[in-house]
Structure 1
Amino acid sequence: MLLLGRVLGGFAVGILMVLIPLFQCEISPPATRGFLVSQHGVVLVFGYSAAAWVGFGSFYSTNPAFQWRFPLCLQCLWPLAMLCLTPWIPESPRWLLMQNRPQDAWKVIQKLHESGKDSSRDSFAKEEFYQMTQQVNADQEMARGESVKTLFTKRSYRKRMFCAFMTMFASESTGILVVYNYSVLLYEGLGFNNEISLLLAAAYVTVACIGNFINSILIDRVGRVKLLEIFPTHIRSRGVAWSLAILFASTIAYLIPAPTAFAEVGWKYYLLFILLSVINIPLMWFYFPETKGLALEEIGEKFGDKVVIHLASLTVERKEGLHIQDESRRNE
């Protein structure tokens, strides 16, 4: 039963790991997209932290069954909450435009920007919606005849795939999950008892949660070289899915041999992650394009694609035209 639960849970997590950041980046404005998308990582690591502290607290129970049953029962609350709250989550406006539902997309844009309460927000909402509409039309025209194979054969897509793969591979090549998953064994090997080992493991992942949150605050101010903004609308889901497949594959490649590696070479196994990080960091730093402050539709230009509309270059006449169209819709 536990093995079947792990299979179903892993399948569901794989789906959510693609959908959540994909959805977050498509509903976030350019100025705060880094912060909002980063909350996925913050909450993800917060979940690790909460699980670690629950495990530490359950260690003190005198009931052996409670020690493992309670943590498993508690984890059912979060998917239940998500199931109940999902009906109130709006669809991505870009996805709605791709489904030829512009009116529904405009309603979502208005809701996200609280359009109507502030004239500047109302103006930006119209401009962003116009850019989305034009770019989606251009992307759909470009997508004709494309397939999964195109992700690897078209030059601009291939560069995106490399950046996405490297982001996920490099993050796992730091050895973060090896340290976390085997942290209790690591601390016990250093001479600590079970109680202190569990405490140190919980403290480790709590520090990681704090680090994620600090990063989310800084990312829109100092720039980023980040995966979740780099694919055009019509292939974004495929690109993110493939990149996350690399993340999980890297996790398997590092975690499965870890017990054998620790038994054979001990601490020297960590030299692998140190070496890979030394190689990956400068590669990402100098090769990845900066996407700070750009709308999702404008990022394609960094990879050699055509961008139909730039928000910053919208003419005064075009902006006035958007206002005139809006007034006509109201009169109708």
Structure 2
Amino acid sequence: MPASASTYNSLAVAAAALGSFTYGFNSSIIGSIFGLPGFFAYFGLTLQGAESAPIVGAANGLFAGGGLIGCIIVPWVSDKLGRIRAMQIACALIVVSAAIQSASVHIGMFLVGRFICGVGTGIINTTVPLYQSEISPPKSRGRMVASHGIGLVTGYSMAAYSGLGCYFEPREQVQWRLLLALQCVAPGILACVSPWVPESPRWLIMNGKEERALKVLRRLHPQRPGTDHDFAASEYAQISQEVEANPEARNIFKLLKSPSIRKRFGMGIFIHFITQSTGILVVNNYQILLWQNVGLKGYMPLLLYAIYLTWASFLNVVSSLIVDKVGRVRMLIIGMCGLICMLSVFTGLFATYAGTDSKGGQVACIVALFLWLTFYATCVDAVSFIYCAEIFPTQMRSQGVAASTGTLFAMTLLLTQVAATAFAEVGWKFYLTFIIVPLCGLPVLWTFPETKGLSLEEIAVLFGDGAIDAALESDGEKLEQAKMVETVEDSTRPTKV
């Protein structure tokens, strides 16, 4: 079993991470837009006015609602057309939405573009970790799928720095139109390089393309010189056995009759429910308002927002380096405990010093929020996507990841839609929600099984799939088939003169 991925494997994962960056940039761009006075002046809105709260909330809510729809349709798209084709469709939707938003002449047009962008990012935010998990070797899968989290927060931080740069543009309309147009850059690049990115070998086997799947596996996981173990052939055998052991696995209603499948669906949904209940996206999308409430003015909220997200990007890299050693569940538990403690401290400080001139109070609020982010970015952000992409068997991985990621968008829709009104009506008390709910859900995390170091097919055994267990114990026939396919290919390949 290879301990590290090949260069080709790493490049394929990195290319897919452009989709992760796309989601991060496009979802976070609204926070930067809220820091540009030209946007509010053009549409006749105010960031803190109660009369504008429904529109501000709709800008977030429609994006999340579109993302939820994207998650609903992605199992059909990715299972029917392939993981790469699903990414390409998502990129097309996002590029179109960026054009609509940047050309908006009234708020309705902007909201329509925001909704279409949500659909595209819902598809891509589900497909990328799904694809990355399916092409990564077990020993480094955590690190490679963590590139999804790294891409997300890098997108967040680049949106913040882009907003900061646009703030100094003297032409107010150019400020926000240019910023919104930048949403098309990353998906445009991904669409251009996608024809050279390999399709998931698991999808290929699931759709009867065994020879092509074996070629992809051999290129992703080439046999190392001086070793006898052919990891590509072994993985081909395991995947084939799992597919054969679950002939009805695409029927979601038959799948849900299995207790192990219901358990995995419940776990995937719970992971994103509890991580979003920490309020991470509410704090992110309304951070400009937050810093203004503690007395920061002008470009300073945008600058602090950019620094905040840069710190998150760095910590996600740290997370990717330790997740395969520490373990997914342990990191989630540590992260949730830290989040509960630090947000409790921040809420107390914010309730005391918001709206005052106390410089010490302002600094204390900033430090507490950065410590809160430290726990999330290191232990929760990328890890939640890794775990949810690992726990489902091949034939239902797209449905399972879609259900868990759909929960993320559903929670985002709920929380960001009400946040503008909640902050206007109850102020700091809204943060109590993000302390109480995670605290109640923390004991459930202790019951989750660890998946580090296991192949995706071995994880199926971990959840009690007896048919797959038996298949994996007798995969010699499939190994021989893989070798026969290779022999046939060699015999039919033209001889070089």
What is the TM-score when the length of structure 1 is the normalising length?
0.90
Q: Post-superposition shift, 1:3?
A: 2.4
Alignment of 1:96-107 (within 5 A): 96-107=204-215
> What residue in structure 1 maps to residue 94 of structure 2?
none
Instruction: Note closer, same or farther for the CA distance 1:289–1:153 as it changes in structure 2 (3 Å cut).
Output: same
Secondary structure, in 3 states, of the residue corresponding to 1:278? helix
Aligned partner letter, 2:452: K
Deviations 1:60-118 (A, max 9, x none): 12121221122122221111101101101111111111111111000000110134x53
Aligned partner letter, 2:295: G
Distance of 1:122 and 1:50 partners within structure 2: 43
Alignment of 1:25-40 (within 5 A): 25-40=133-148
Q: Post-superposition shift, 1:319?
A: 11
Instruction: Note closer, same or farther for the CA distance 1:53–1:328 as it changes in structure 2 (3 Å cut).
Output: closer
> What residue in structure 2 maps to residue 73 of structure 1?
181
Distance of 2:227 and 2:481 partners within structure 1: 13
Q: Which has the higher contact order (CA 8 A, sep 6+)?
A: 1
Q: Does 1:138 align with 2:245?
A: yes
Distance of 1:308 and 1:231 partners within structure 2: 15
Distance of 2:491 and 2:199 partners within structure 1: 27
Secondary structure, in 3 states, of the residue corresponding to 1:120? coil
**Contact 2:264–2:391, Cα closer than 8 Å, also in 1:** yes
Q: Does 1:221 align with 2:328?
A: no
**Gaps in structure 2 of 5+ consecutive residues:** 1-108, 330-386, 493-497
**Contact 1:27–1:93, Cα closer than 8 Å, also in 2:** yes
Aligned partner letter, 1:209: S
**Contact 2:154–2:313, Cα closer than 8 Å, also in 1:** yes
**Contact 2:237–2:478, Cα closer than 8 Å, also in 1:** no
> What residue in structure 2 maps to residue 8 of structure 1?
116
* Residues 36-45 or 124-133, more deviating: 124-133
* Residues 182-191 or 302-311, more deviating: 302-311
Secondary structure, in 3 states, of the residue corresponding to 1:91? coil
Aligned partner letter, 2:411: S
Q: Post-superposition shift, 1:217?
A: 1.0
Q: Does 1:181 align with 2:342?
A: no
Distance of 1:309 and 1:119 partners within structure 2: 31
Instruction: Note closer, same or farther for the CA distance 1:287–1:320 as it changes in structure 2 (3 Å cut).
Output: closer
> What residue in structure 1 maps to residue 332 of structure 2?
none
Q: Post-superposition shift, 1:148?
A: 2.5
**Contact 1:139–1:232, Cα closer than 8 Å, also in 2:** no
Aligned partner letter, 1:6: R
Aligned partner letter, 1:133: S
> What residue in structure 1 maps to residue 95 of structure 2?
none
Query: When the two structures are aligned, how many residues end up with a matched partner?
Result: 325
Distance of 1:123 and 1:198 partners within structure 2: 52
> What residue in structure 2 maps to residue 212 of structure 1?
316
Aligned partner letter, 2:424: A
> What residue in structure 2 maps to residue 268 of structure 1?
429
Q: Does 1:243 align with 2:404?
A: yes
Aligned partner letter, 1:212: N
> What residue in structure 2 maps to residue 91 of structure 1?
199
Aligned partner letter, 1:300: A
> What residue in structure 2 maps to residue 166 of structure 1?
270
* Residues 53-62 or 273-282, more deviating: 273-282
> What residue in structure 2 maps to residue 304 of structure 1?
464
Distance of 2:479 and 2:118 partners within structure 1: 50
Distance of 2:190 and 2:172 partners within structure 1: 30
Secondary structure, in 3 states, of the residue corresponding to 1:76? helix
**Contact 2:276–2:412, Cα closer than 8 Å, also in 1:** yes
**Contact 1:261–1:269, Cα closer than 8 Å, also in 2:** yes
Aligned partner letter, 2:142: G
> What residue in structure 2 maps to residue 129 of structure 1?
236
Alignment root-mean-square deviation, CA: 2.4
Aligned partner letter, 2:174: F
**Contact 2:157–2:313, Cα closer than 8 Å, also in 1:** yes
**Contact 1:26–1:93, Cα closer than 8 Å, also in 2:** yes
Question: Could you tell me which of 169, 191, 195 is aligned with 1:61?
Answer: 169
Instruction: Note closer, same or farther for the CA distance 1:113–1:191 as it changes in structure 2 (3 Å cut).
Output: same
> What residue in structure 1 maps to residue 84 of structure 2?
none
Secondary structure, in 3 states, of the residue corresponding to 1:256? helix
Instruction: Note closer, same or farther for the CA distance 1:282–1:133 as it changes in structure 2 (3 Å cut).
Output: same
Distance of 1:105 and 1:319 partners within structure 2: 13
Deviations 1:196-240 (A, max 9, x none): 111111122222222221111111111113211011111111111
Aligned partner letter, 2:245: A
* Residues 300-309 or 36-45, more deviating: 300-309
**Contact 1:224–1:291, Cα closer than 8 Å, also in 2:** yes
Instruction: Note closer, same or farther for the CA distance 1:205–1:150 as it changes in structure 2 (3 Å cut).
Output: farther
Distance of 2:470 and 2:390 partners within structure 1: 17
Distance of 1:110 and 1:204 partners within structure 2: 41
What is the TM-score when the length of structure 2 is the normalising length?
0.61
Distance of 1:155 and 1:320 partners within structure 2: 30
Alignment of 1:246-325 (within 5 A): 246-284=407-445, 286-306=446-466, 307-308=468-469, 325=484
Distance of 2:199 and 2:124 partners within structure 1: 15
Distance of 2:196 and 2:119 partners within structure 1: 24
> What residue in structure 1 maps to residue 38 of structure 2?
none
Distance of 1:324 and 1:161 partners within structure 2: 36
Instruction: Note closer, same or farther for the CA distance 1:13–1:237 as it changes in structure 2 (3 Å cut).
Output: same
Aligned partner letter, 2:448: F
Instruction: Note closer, same or farther for the CA distance 1:169–1:323 as it changes in structure 2 (3 Å cut).
Output: closer
Aligned partner letter, 1:82: L
